[in-house]
Homo-oligomer: A and B are copies of this chain.
């Protein structure tokens, strides 16, 4: 349903994003996600800026960020994202045992989310302000 725009066929605007993806990832490979977004250059540039910022080094390590990304993608059933971020997690060192535990946590969280919502369970006062917002 969507054109996948290869580097050679791309405009200068798109090529600039592709170049930054390649430089950031230290790899020539551009995956289909970006080739598809290239059909709308402002979305390509903006989404890459988003992903580059949030998945980069920070207070949470890169492998953990991939696990979080997979958890969201499985909950939403995004086939593409499950595949691409599982590949990303494996590249960052995820073991099969870790993938198994990840699926287990995601499954149980989806279960308890519905139990909490179905029973309309009130938040415990001591959980009201866990971040100490005051």
Contact = CB atoms under 8 A, between A and B. Distances in A.
A72 interface: yes
Given A33-B121, A127-B31, A129-B1, A105 B68 contact: yes
Interface residues of A, number: 87
Interface of A: 1-4, 29, 31-33, 36-37, 39-40, 42-43, 46-47, 49-51, 53-55, 58-60, 64-65, 67-84, 86-87, 89-90, 95-124, 126-131, 133-134
A55 to B, nearest CB: 7
Contacts of A101: 40, 54, 58-60, 65
Given A37-B115, A53-B104, 8 more contacts: A36-B115, A40-B99, A43-B115, A64-B64, A65-B101, A68-B106, A78-B113, A103-B119
